[in-house]
Amino acid sequence: MTAADLHPTVPPPAGADRARRPRALRPAGAALAALLAAATFAGEPAAPPRAMAPEFEVTVADAGQARAIFKKNAWFKEFAASNLYRGTMVRLGPALFAVGRGDKDGWKGRLGDFLLDRVLAGRPMRISYFSVPSLVSPFGVTVAGLSSAERSVLHAIVGSRRSGDDVPTAVAAGDSTVTVNVTPVSVGMQRFAVVETASSIAISRDPDVAAALGARAAEAKPASAAVLDVDVAQFFSSWSVLLEKRFGVGGTLRVSFDYESGGARYVPAKAELPLRPDHLISSAELPPAVLGAIPADALFFATVSIPDPGPLSPDSVAEYLSAEPGASRAPAVPVTLLYLGVQADEKRNTEPLSAILVPAAGVDDDAEQGVQELFNRRGRYEVGTSTACKGLLAISPSQDALARINEACAGRRPSFRQAPPKLVGAFSGRPVGAAAFLNVGSYLSSALRLGWQLKGAAPEKAPPPEIADALALLDRLPMMGFSGAAAGETLVMRGVEP
């Protein structure tokens, strides 16, 4: 087994097709290949492995709770009877439902049930997502805190399903490189890459993902029932430098969840984000006009209270960003980043619908002209503005996004002011340092709807029954909000559901 067996894009090793060549050319071909390799690569260091860090990860403290969720959670029971579930099991099903033959395979019964009973119960499990191009799969799973008996069980399964020799895989670890042995495994005609360590096991369809997860140091079991970790620099890549260097925000956003045994579900508890000592996060009350400008069908928005930047012209913004942290004595204002999804036209061109809302009383034509100069001076794309919402300046590269915001302000479209009272209450009535909202169901259903449209369906055409059922099922997933303030060097936001 070679790297080519795990990476479809890796070319076969030199000489792999030599059986098809005339016998007399083999020695000459080998000598020529050696001379060319020496001439080409002499003195050149080997290319370093690409740095890989997960963009976000979900960790559950007890993976055994999955059984209770599958059996008791109302949404999951509906999901298990749906076409959407059957679709997701097309590739995972043959592996999870593979039936073992005892000692020969290392397990008895269905593999998924066996792992839940013998390995996962009481152990933390982490699902990681890597936003890295050219991966076989961006996902990987790590189960940690394994006992020697549990490691023996897993080792027997891996050994029985090994499809080749271990493949040494280089992994970037800070300024150095480590080599991790990745084991190719085949279960139910599905191929996986596995890395076993002294206390954990990492599994992925991509060997680089498995190696990156296997090379990480063991992490403590989360204090909450489940946590979502988001790498802020990757998730907000366009804003990361500004957030970290200017406003002192960065690192990893950790969202914690409690487990509600009655409904067999996870509920949002809090979100925490590390801050630099000289951070600029303050507190300000969210004006009612902001909630009135956010369309009710928004998928996501985040608000942060920062010193008022003043006029958004190139000169004033340059002065604002170059000032020493803490030098500004301007009052705090809530700046809101709004995401309404992605839309596709009849030619399958896509357009993200995002916008920024900035409190700006008395914005005149000169102020709007300053914004135009600020955002459009490079000529890469055109950014529009709107002052249709009283006391707010809306900025977006999408005219459709601005139109939706204007309609919400005018009352022609439902706004977030009509959201469930518990959510509205979390964002109003008191100063907040930061707040965020995520509609999980609408986010996933909009992605499915976009994918269906990109397959060739006209935007106005009704989806077929199986797609419509899946959209309705996803829409029933929960929405959640978070709001809070800075406490020392940590931004702490409490979670709330409708």
**Amino acid 37: pLDDT:** 42
**Amino acid 248: pLDDT:** 81
267 assigned to some structural domain: no
CA-closest candidate to residue 379, choices 363, 397, 402? 397
Q: Is the dihedral of CA 314, 320, 324, 325 positive or negative?
A: negative
Count of structural domains, the chain? 2
Residue 45 phi, psi dihedral angles, 5° rounding = -70, 150
498 assigned to some structural domain: no
Please provide the average confidence, as pLDDT, over all residues in the chain. 84
The 10s digit of each residue's pLDDT in 174-199 is 778 999 999 999 998 899 999 999 99
Q: And the tokens for 27?
A: 């020695």
Dist. CA 337–CA 114, nearest whole Å? 45
Q: In the predicted model, is pLDDT for residue 2 greater than 70? A: no
Kindly indicate the confidence band of residue 378, based on its pLDDT and cuts at 50, 70 and 90: low
Instruction: Find tokens 């958004």 and name the residue.
Output: 312
42 assigned to some structural domain: no
Residues 6+ apart with CB under 8 A from 97: 110, 111, 112, 188
CA-closest candidate to residue 470, choices 20, 88, 156, 22? 88
**Amino acid 23: pLDDT:** 39
Residues 6+ apart with CB under 8 A from 101: 108
281 assigned to some structural domain: yes
Query: Which among 190, 206, 222 is the end of a domain?
Result: 222
CA-closest candidate to residue 353, choices 305, 312, 302, 300? 300
Residues 6+ apart with CB under 8 A from 3: 10, 167, 169, 207
375 assigned to some structural domain: yes
Same domain, 306 and 215: no
Higher pLDDT residue, 33 or 353?
Answer: 353
Residues 422, 424, 429: CA angle, nearest 5 degrees: 105
Range of the domain at 286: 277-486
Exposure on the CB side of residue 282, measured as CA atoms within 13 A = 18
Same domain, 296 and 214: no
245 assigned to some structural domain: no
Same domain, 314 and 427: yes
DSSP state of 244: I
**Amino acid 69: pLDDT:** 92
Query: Which among 157, 190, 222 is the end of a domain?
Result: 222
Q: In the predicted model, is pLDDT for residue 143 greater than 90? A: yes
Task: Mark out the alpha helices in 334-433 (DSSP H runs).
Answer: 365-376, 399-410, 421-427
349 assigned to some structural domain: yes
CA-closest candidate to residue 272, choices 491, 68, 124? 491
**Amino acid 346: pLDDT:** 78
21 assigned to some structural domain: no
Same domain, 430 and 329: yes
Q: In the predicted model, is pLDDT for residue 382 greater than 90? A: no
Tell me the residue type at 69: I
Q: In the predicted model, is pLDDT for residue 22 greater than 50? A: no
Dist. CA 84–CA 335, nearest whole Å? 38
